[in-house]
Amino acid sequence: MCAAKAGKGAGLDVAVVGGGWAGCAAAVELADKRARVTLFEAARTLGGRARGVELQGKMLDNGQHILLGAYDQTLKLIKRVGVDPAAALLRLPLQMRYPAGAGGMDFVAPRLPAPWHMIVALWRAKGLGREDKMALARFTTSARWMGWRLNDDVPVSVLLARFDQTPRLNRLMWQPLCLAALNTPPERASSNVFLAVLRDSLGAHRAASDMLVPRLELGALFPRAAARHIEQRGGAVHAGAKVGAIARTAAGWEVQASGQACGGDRQRFDALVLATPPAAAAGLIAALPGAGDLAARLDAFDYEPISTCYLQYDAALRLPLPFCALLEDPAARRFGQFVFDRGQLDPGQGGLLAVVISAAGAAAALDQDTLASLVANQLAQAFGQPALATPRWSRVITDKRATFACVPGLSRPGNATDLPGLVLAGDYTASDYPATLESAVRSGQGAATAILAHGRLARENGSLSHGGGATPAGSVQ
């Protein structure tokens, strides 16, 4: 969107605290509406929990991600900041495929109009018996009839039992999907959030159900392009600038940040987007009058870890597919759930495999070398290639608070708060999606919309005055 065509935020000074995908999305939206945006990020790189990191001289992701074709807002925003989704993402049909001969299944949706893509995929699926296929068909038909929602939320395991899903289907399809999408074990995961994901994958039109695997590292996919987009529209991006305190003033909000990127200034703004993780947001607002209940609510989230194990082999190594599901069995110390052949995504990463472990509590408790060795042995057994047991090097990245625990009936706050001119943004805010890039982007866009509404109200009341930088800015009360 051209800034000259959208002036709803013209003259509004807005601080965005947090440079993850939600914060970057909010800042892009506001900059495109001609607001004066200042983005603060404590880390030296943007992206939050979906960013690039340097390992062994390569730019990799701090965790492997998959997007869905249904992530329409994310795809539009990536394109708006100058990244071509068709080139940046490998688009694959909906699938759940295990290594041949490993005892799994092979389920691939053909490129046919819905619902034929699912009907043919189920008919062609290998590794599922008639009972399994009938159970899957019965479940998806019933879920569609229910509008992909329960009146009373229950754990996914209860939902699956209620619809007589077979043990094999649960192990090969539902459990890995639940872990990948919600990062919460089926015994504790929200059925309604799981159904929302299925609605936009198994139950959607074919293109929406496609799986999109980033070819670029996550920082290049959106955050760095977003920073350029913001700066080109007169905004400022301060990486390495930690916001230690915020305060209400008679004219708006004061932000105190430290770090060379911002010079340690106290700056004043008309409005403020808090796009930090919920615990950090709680710490910033806890001392504000009237914010105690919200701070306690933000501090009450539980979290689940994700581990990504990178293993480097000879550059000529190539798996049969860009990514495969793996048979997880923690009791047998097989923790890997999905493996990605990075060389099929980026030619410069030949021989590099990334193995993802969601809800990785037991795996994350192991030391890095032990976990990497177990994962390598799991790969060697799954693919029948003993050489996979001995990578040239390995590295495990674990985010102990990768996502909130997506449990039934979880109360998630909206963007708006009772603090005039302050809004929240993050994948944890109210949404029918779990913690995904799409929910982060939508939340950031919702936060920007709320800020612009405050700005319009302030102008109508004649209370919006403009300074800039460290001089008093107007109020959006």
Q: Looking at residue 464, what is its pLDDT? A: 44
- Provide the pLDDT for residue 457: 58
Q: Average pLDDT, stretch 171-189?
A: 97
Q: How far is CA 310 from the centre of its chain?
A: 20
Report, as an integer, the average pLDDT of 27-35: 97
Of the pLDDT bands very low, low, confident and very high (cuts 50, 70, 90), residue 463 is very low
pTM for the whole structure: 0.92
Q: Residues 1-16: pLDDT tens digits?
A: 333 334 566 689 999 9
Question: Which pLDDT value is given to residue 205?
Answer: 87
Taking alpha carbons only, the member of 358, 316, 356 closest to residue 340 is: 356
Q: β-strands 393-404, 95-97: how paired?
A: unpaired
Contact yes or no for 335/374 (Cβ under 8 A) = yes
Query: Which of 225, 359, 251, 216 minimizes the C-alpha distance to 12?
Result: 251
Query: Could you tell me which residue, 469 or 189, shows the higher pLDDT?
Result: 189
Contact 39, 235 (CB under 8 A): yes
pLDDT tens digits, residue range 391-443? Answer: 999 999 999 999 999 999 999 999 999 999 999 999 999 999 999 999 999 99
In Å, how far from its chain's centre is CA 297? 21
Euclidean distance between CA atoms 353 and 365, whole angstroms: 22
Cα–Cα nearest to 315, from 344, 351, 342: 351
DSSP string, 4-35: GG--TTTT-EEEEE--BHHHHHHHHHHHHTT-
More confidently predicted of 454 and 81: 81
H/E stretch holding 194 reads: helix 191-199
**C-alpha angle 189-165-145 in degrees, rounded to nearest 5:** 80
What burial class does residue 142 get, using C-beta atoms within 10 Å of its C-beta: 0-12 exposed, 13-18 middle, 19+ buried?
Answer: exposed
Report CA 291 to chain centroid distance, whole Å: 27
Report DSSP state, residue 56. T
Task: Give CA–CA dist 6/66, Å, rounded.
Answer: 32
Instruction: Choose between 93 and 55: higher pLDDT.
Output: 93
**What's the pLDDT score for residue 4?**
34
Q: What is the pLDDT of residue 250?
A: 85
Alpha-helical regions (H) of 201-309 = 206-209, 218-221, 223-232, 278-285, 292-298
Q: What average pLDDT score do residues 43-66 get?
A: 89
- The rounded mean pLDDT for the chain is 91
Task: Output the pLDDT for position 203.
Answer: 87
pLDDT of residue 466: 40
pLDDT bucket at 456, cuts 50 / 70 / 90: low
- The encoded tokens of residue 240 equal 């390495």
**% of residues, the chain, pLDDT over 90:** 84
SS3 54: strand
pLDDT reading at 311 higher than 60: yes
Share of the chain above pLDDT 70, in %: 92
